[in-house]
Amino acid sequence: MVSFLLALRERRVWRDPVRKQRTLLSFSATEEDGGRDLARAARCVRDPELRAHLERHSRDEARHAALFRARAAEVAQEHGLAAGGDDAHGRAWDLASARRALALEAHGLSNSAAIDSAGELEYVAMLHVAERKAAELFSAYRDMNAGDPATRAVFEAILKDEKYHVAYTGTFLEKWRKLGRGAEVERALGAAAGSRWLGAWKRVGLRSAAGFSHAVLFALYWTLLAPFGLLARRRAAPRGWQAPRAGSTAQY
Amino acid sequence: MRVLGLSAFHRDSAAAVCVDGELVAAAQEERYSGLRAESGLPRRSARACLERAGLQTAELDALVFFEKPLRKFERVLAAQLQAFPHSSRSFARGLFTWLGDRLWLRTRLAEEFAVPPAKVQFVEHARAHAALAFHASPFERAAVLVVDDLGEWASTTLARGDGSALECLAQTHHPHSLGLWFSAYTQFLGFEPGLDEERVEVLSHSGAPRFEREVGATAPALADGAFEVDLLRFRFGHDAERLFDASLEQLFGPARQPGAPLRATRDDARDADLAASVQRVLEERVLALARELQRRTQLDVACLAGEVLRNRTLLARLAAEGPFRELFAPPALGEAGAAAGAALEYSIDHGAPRRAQHPSLALGEALDVAALDGVESAAPRIEGAAPREVAQQLLAGRVLAWVRGAPELGPESLGARLILACATAADARERLLACVQRADPLQAVRVLARDEDADEWFELPAAARSLARDAACTAKASARLRELAPSALLPGGAVWPQLVVRARDPELHALLGELGRNGRAALALCASFQLRGQPLVRSAAGALEAFRRSSLDALLVEDRLFEAARE
């Protein structure tokens, strides 16, 4: 039932050019950030074979980012879309910062890259889970874009790489299992899958809270604020020259 | 002192780094996100700026936001209450954003950028604008005029700069805002408010100001140079979807729907005439502000900032009829520039010396030409002869994009990301714009000319000379220019000039020299290199991508030439 509702919602996203463009741009940003994170991980790992895979993976992500960005630009042009309005960014900052760990890695703009807080094995397990999920999603999105060959082609191209990403991370996990680290691998895969569920649960919670907050604010407007509103209507906006406040660096 | 300045949550989010009073990096978020006028937190541009400056966030002395959130919240709340009971929907929507996010901006910025909350500081919006205008100017003392749409409370600010001190003298407050007023008419004319004001400006050249009295009554002048807005005609306080009241349609007839035919013909010029009237009234109000500023400061030079002063026709009139001997406008007059202004203001206010700034604010990410290594097999290198090559291409009737160095901060590229055409071709303007999918009769193009040739091509008042070096004003075309480059003319014979100074941009100056050989006109038409609806091209790879999607004949990225036939 849940996946049916999600599929319904996703179909609406892909049918609406504005949401399609924004979704493609957000994929582009995620791929770009992911590529940067992978490049950093490649510098940190000790296994030269894993390093080579991570470097290639990083390049793939950068290419995917460019593909998504280019398609988003085409969609914007096809439908005469223009600016990035405030609405897109007017969501609760918890939502916006949910991507923080992946958002910025260089120059101390986030706590650290994922590789720093996880070992090689945990990092590869996280990649494996993420790439498998991405392959599933992109495959579904490809099918949802049957009527848009250009977008479908983008997902098609990216899916080929995703399959390789799932395969090489799976090979490494298998190698570690054979080296007697099976329990560690299973624990890491479980933790990675769990963190995805936790993230999804948080998002549902935040969306519900947002709806509830809107309702509460609407009710407040017609109850508590009504007398203040009636008083404020009588007060004319200040016209003509006003004295500036003294400069300061406080919030007010 | 190392300061990161940020602007966000309005439009044109940007970041800038100031080290010891000098701007060393500045970048606009839209060029990273791909969303024109991007308003989100400028994470990527901040990273690019820190990278260019060679800094970690831990090394910053302060992170300065271009606005005071609590003061802005006060204004938002007051406006919502004053609009009671029409603001119920916008109240819930707006307050949700404020209570869930903006009120906790210090914490959010501290966490996002991994700096202690005590290092997150705030500069008043109007001060941030004024600071860039004054501290980037060549003047030691100057009057400063900021005419903006929205900030905390202030919409217009009169200020005086003296050395490192910047003193605000007087302000007009929201909702009395010329920026919002002009945007409301922009929307009335079927364009997007906050983005398409330039189109209204260009449209105004085609009309006659026959509605000047009616339009003037919606923003009457006050005796002391100030103005007010007739709040019965506009809905600035509580409705972000429609800025004008239905009563405006009783004055001028139905508002034009977006995409509907423009009424700008001889038989029915309602839209063009309304645009001309709005433009005329705007000019009158800003001239009054300038006279009041001069009266208060007794200074004869002025620095300009704020979204409204991006209007080039207005600046031309201010230069011709205003009270100042010389005017200066930084290349980034709008919100993006305010990020740089906030960083500068904090630095200089905290003891950093006042220094000369990069004249065109070309302080973005360095051009990554190496990214073209894999695709350049067919592209010949132009070793040290780029101006000659570009000139040959233009003289052969081709339209070319020229990408050099770091991109500039601000809405227009003055040299780093240009598309160029030979000015004397009859269809030069149309071809230039069509190549980047921006064919639009309301899109102006610039006429590039050498600074020393200005008098030959333009009728520029002395006060407009430095504005024209930043392509910040229009000018009347000389008879010879009208004859040679008719496609560059706006209706009424004005043009949009950009004077190229040899010391500031020797390559672009050399290009004009090459074009002017053998008695030819040393002129070119240009526009910023961006496709329709897209932000300015940022990287070398982005330039190649845009080139492939355009119908440009050639692309020159530093010394690498790509030609359409080979692509």
Using the beta-carbon criterion (under 8 Å), do B84 and A229 form an inter-chain contact? yes
Using the beta-carbon criterion (under 8 Å), do B84 and A233 form an inter-chain contact? yes
Q: Closest residue of A to B39, CA-based? A: A86
Residue A31's domain comprises 2-84+102-225
In a domain, A109, yes or no: yes
Asked which of A70-79, A101-110, B23-32 is least confident by mean pLDDT, the reply is A101-110
State whether B389 and B290 are in the same domain: no
* Closest CA relative to residue B73, chosen from B122, B35, B32, B110: B122
Q: What is the pLDDT of residues B358-406, one digit of tens each?
A: 888 999 999 988 888 766 555 677 777 899 999 999 999 999 999 999 9
Output the pLDDT for position B53: 95
State whether B112 and B206 are in the same domain: no
In a domain, B238, yes or no: yes
Which residues in chain A have Cβ-Cβ distances shorter than 8 Å to B170? 241-244
Nearest-CA distance A110 → chain B (Å): 6
Q: What is the mean pLDDT of chain B?
A: 92
Query: With bands split at pLDDT 50, 70 and 90, how would you rate the model's confidence at A87?
Result: very low
First to last CA, chain A: 49
Mean pLDDT is highest, among B105-114, B120-129, B361-370, for: B120-129
In a domain, B290, yes or no: yes
Reported as half-sphere exposure (CB side, CA atoms, 13 A), residue B551 has a value of: 9
Q: Which of B316, B349, B382 is the last residue of a domain?
A: B349
In a domain, A239, yes or no: no
Mean pLDDT is highest, among A77-81, B120-124, B244-248, B254-258, for: B120-124
Which residues in chain A have Cβ-Cβ distances shorter than 8 Å to B437? 77
Whole-angstrom distance, CA of residue B4 vs CA of residue B339: 8
Cβ neighbors of B36 (< 8 A, separation 6 or more) are A82, A83, A84, B30, B195, B533, B534, B535
In a domain, A245, yes or no: no
Q: What is the CATH number of the domain that holds B41?
A: 3.30.420.40
- Number of C-beta neighbours around residue A144 at 10 A: 18
In a domain, A23, yes or no: yes
State whether B316 and B342 are in the same domain: no
Nearest-CA distance A243 → chain B (Å): 5
Q: How many structural domains does chain A have? A: 1
Cβ neighbors of B553 (< 8 A, separation 6 or more) are B393, B398, B399, B400, B435, B563, B564
In a domain, A76, yes or no: yes
Q: Is B229 helix (H, G, I), strand (E, B) or coil?
A: coil
Q: How many structural domains does chain B have? A: 3
Whole-angstrom distance, CA of residue B327 vs CA of residue B454: 17
Which is it for the CA torsion A210, A216, A221, A227, positive or negative? negative
In a domain, B165, yes or no: no
State whether B379 and B520 are in the same domain: yes
In a domain, B390, yes or no: yes
Does pLDDT of B516 surpass 70? yes
State whether B66 and B92 are in the same domain: yes
Q: What is the CATH number of the domain that holds A31?
A: 1.20.1260.10
Residue B530's domain comprises 369-563
State whether B295 and B340 are in the same domain: no
The complex's ipTM? 0.86
In a domain, B475, yes or no: yes
Nearest-CA distance A130 → chain B (Å): 23
Query: With bands split at pLDDT 50, 70 and 90, how would you rate the model's confidence at A203?
Result: low
State whether B389 and B301 are in the same domain: no
In a domain, B148, yes or no: no
Output the pLDDT for position A248: 82
State whether B433 and B382 are in the same domain: yes
Whole-angstrom distance, CA of residue B309 vs CA of residue B121: 27
In a domain, A251, yes or no: no
How big is the CA angle at B2 (ends B122 and B104), to the nearest 5 degrees?
30
With beta carbons less than 8 A apart as the criterion, state whether B172 and B179 touch: no
Does pLDDT of A108 surpass 60? no
In a domain, A230, yes or no: no
Does pLDDT of B262 surpass 70? yes
